[in-house]
Amino acid sequence: MKDLLLITPPFTQLNTPYPATTYLKGFLNTKNISSFQMDLGIEVILELFSKETFQDLFEIAFNTNQIHSENCQRIYALKDAYLQPLDDVIAFLQGKKPTFSRQICSDDFLPQASRFEQLDDLDWAFGSMGIQDKAKHLATLYLEDLSDFIIECIDDNFGFSRYAERLGQSANSFDELHAHLQEEPTYIDSITLGILEEKLKTIKPKLVCFSVPFPGNLYSAFRCAQFIKTNYPTIKIAMGGGFPNTELRSVSDVRVFEFFDFITLDDGELPIELLYNAVTSSAVEMSFKRTFLLENGNVVYKNNATQSDYKQVDLGTPDYSDLHLESYISVIEIANPMHSLWSDGRWNKLTMAHGCYWGKCTFCDISLDYIKIYEPIAATILVDRMEQLVTQTGETGFHFVDEAAPPSLMKALALEILKRKLTVTWWANIRFEKNFTKDLCLLLKASGCIAVSGGLEVASDRLLALIDKGVTVEQVAQVTRNFTEANIMVHAYLMYGYPTQTVQETIDSLEMVRQLFEVGVLQSGFWHQFALTAHSPIGLNPSDFGVIPHTKDISFANNDIDFTDQTGIDHTQFSFGLKKSLFNFMHGIGFELPLQEWFDFKIPKTQIKPDFIYNCLETTVDFNIKPNAKIVWLGTTPMVTEQTKSKRGQTLELLTMTFHDKTDVFKISLEKEQGLWLLNTLKTITPNHNKQRTYADLKSDFETQFENFELFWFSKPILKLREAGLLVL
């Protein structure tokens, strides 16, 4: 028995748990509140994609005469070929049968329907990546064939990472969702509710809390809540998470509270603690934090708690216990390097800070607390939590899910990882800001950083200024170059259709992106069409941005807003051409084609010079170093030999230092006294040294014995060390 049951409803990711319940469980542990968590989505997927279940689905589809398209007729005709390997394919994707990859990759082993029509690019995508990734991609296509069969013949709301998503998107009224909930449960609902009931009987919770991150989780959350209300009326039910935080801030429809007793907003730790108190206490007067509930037949918002939200340091370490970590499945859906990171492998998820340190982008919900209130976590605490999660989960991979990870904290995190000599792999979302110098990128790489994703948005300086992104295209080019040269993969989020964006700016933005890929500083990207949200600066002040919103009566969800841009341009017409060109650029092809080739309608010629990005990367050496810059040596201790050298009657004593790194060996020679100073200094500027030293500190120390530290620092031997891991941070 547990007092609380924390549930992520179907469906989110297949490869790793969505982290919200792990954060809440970690916090509840600090309060000695007993809880159990489950990812209902992965449990439903595993039961659905089993040989036994699919045998039943094929029979249902045939008996109800639902098999209409040629594609599903083919899948049904090959049903035995689909059924036979299904359980083994799932086991392979769970990492349990690695040798099965060779069978999967052999010709004609897996049956093929429409999803396999994209196989032309397999050699490009997986030729250098190995047989395991190729097999994962083939297995993913096989599962997507079966998914198509479900959608056409069993349940048209199905989706691997979302379910009935349409019902939750911009649902200003509860009517449509409510109507669906009055219908008989679907086949997938029956699987979901069967697993839920087993857990309810085992856990016997007093309070069930659904974390609903996305519109695609909403329907299942309501269906599960409906089931609990009908069959276990004494159990109280709450909803929190990303969807209510953004969409349900003005909910007023009393019918919603036929399903849920409470809906909480923003940080969930204090609200859930107070809900626990309300459910387990007999007190008459209860306090709540940012909570909607029904009172005297009306929806009311209670925020009468006197306690402040907990600081990040007091929230505890996320707890992954109860979750079936060995059951998650790694898939590779498309040949996009960053998307494969999202879906392949199991990542422990953490945040470096609460909120966004920039907090200015005009398209973002910066008025909401989860972005507006910025509170970083100390690097020592972050790495403590990383070590605890490695011990608990056995996984050394981390995805930092910040809105934008702060460079200063990334630097501190990297130094702490190196100081503790941890072997971890991590990636994060960033802003392409100037503080990501070449040296900082090298430090991040040394600590285990393999990839970053960041918003280039519209590659136009006018629009970047209007967005208040705080970067320029030139700056983005230089930062992406720094990451790429450090062998850290770079993914760019790209945007089109921003208010007042002209056709010329769209084409020029595409040309910028083309050049970034052509010179090799971008490896991955994705175009999104601008969406107007209610809580962004544009949504709050649309007239300032030339936008006319189409407002509606709101009784349920309120986030995405239909609008008209004063330019009158139909930006959707660019979608296919932008995405097709990007797909080719990621393949390393199509750079020589005129931009007109990607569109079936007339576009203007780009006004961007063909060498614009190349020229952005022509930077001169910066001889100005801030006195408080940290100096760090990532290299090894050298082998030292002494020698003498005579020149014009004078004898010089020299030290020759031989440095070995992981792939190479190099030597430098210095006058003996300066060489001894350098040897002693290198020992004091490694990451595991107790105190970090600054440039000013080194200069002062050097000039107690010698003259002109700048001349020494920019000499050929030191520049050689700078290329080998002597960093200025």
Q: What is the pLDDT of residues 361-386, one digit of tens each?
A: 998 999 888 889 999 999 999 999 99
| Structure tokens that stand for 402 in this block | 């910040």
- Model pLDDT, residue 551: 81
Q: Is the pLDDT of residue 176 over 80?
A: yes
Domain map (residue ranges) of the chain: 4-41+164-314, 67-153, 347-549+557-616, 630-728
Q: Is the pLDDT of residue 107 over 90?
A: no
pLDDT value, residue 502: 95
The average pLDDT across 578-598 equals 93
Interval 75-99 mean pLDDT: 96
Q: With contact defined as beta carbons under 8 Å apart, do 431 and 479 qualify?
A: no
% of the chain residues with pLDDT over 70: 96
What's the rounded mean pLDDT across residues 314-326?
A: 96
Rounded CA separation 19/527 (Å): 26
Among all chains, which residue has been given the structure tokens 């250098």?
Answer: 128
Q: Which residues does 397 contact at the CB level (< 8 Å), separation at least 6?
A: 345, 346, 347, 348, 424, 425, 426
Q: Do the Cβ atoms of 5 and 38 come closer than 8 Å?
A: yes
| Contact (CB, 8 A) for 51 and 18 | no
CA atoms within 13 A on the CB side of 635: 26
Pairing relationship of beta strands 726-728 and 291-295 according to DSSP bridges: unpaired
Superfamily of domain 4-41+164-314: Cobalamin-binding domain (3.40.50.280)
d(CA 515, CA 523): 12
**CA-CA distance, 385 to 443, in Å (whole number)?**
21
Nearest partner of 98 among 123, 131, 72, judged by Cα: 131
User: pLDDT grade, residue 165 (50/70/90)?
Assistant: low
Distance of CA 546 to CAs 261, 462, 538, 574, Å? Answer: 41, 15, 9, 20
* Contacts (Cβ under 8 Å, ≥6 apart) of 555: 172, 173, 174, 251, 252, 253
Higher pLDDT, 263 or 688: 263
Smallest Cα–Cα separation from 51: which of 146, 156, 154, 131?
Answer: 146
pLDDT of residue 546: 86
| Residues 407-411, mean pLDDT to the nearest whole number | 96
Band the pLDDT of 562: cuts 50, 70, 90. confident
Whole-structure pTM value: 0.93
Alpha-carbon distances of 664 from 474, 508, 659, 724, rounded to whole Å: 33, 42, 8, 10
If pLDDT is split at 50, 70 and 90, which confidence band does 645 have?
Answer: confident
pLDDT in the model for residue 122: 57
Instruction: Tell me the β-bridge partners of 451.
Output: 427, 489
Q: Tell me what pLDDT residue 123 has.
A: 57
Cis peptide, bond prior to residue 11, ω within 30 of zero: yes
Is the pLDDT confidence value at 567 over 90?
Answer: no
Residue 469, pLDDT > 70, answer yes
- CA 261 to CA 272: how far, in whole Å? 13
The pair of three-digit structure tokens given for residue 420, joined into one six-digit string: 């503790």
Domain 347-549+557-616 in CATH 3.20.20? The answer is yes
For the chain, the average pLDDT equals: 92
Bridge pairing between strands 630-633 and 693-694 = antiparallel
Torsion of CA 444, 448, 449, 450, to 10 degrees: 130
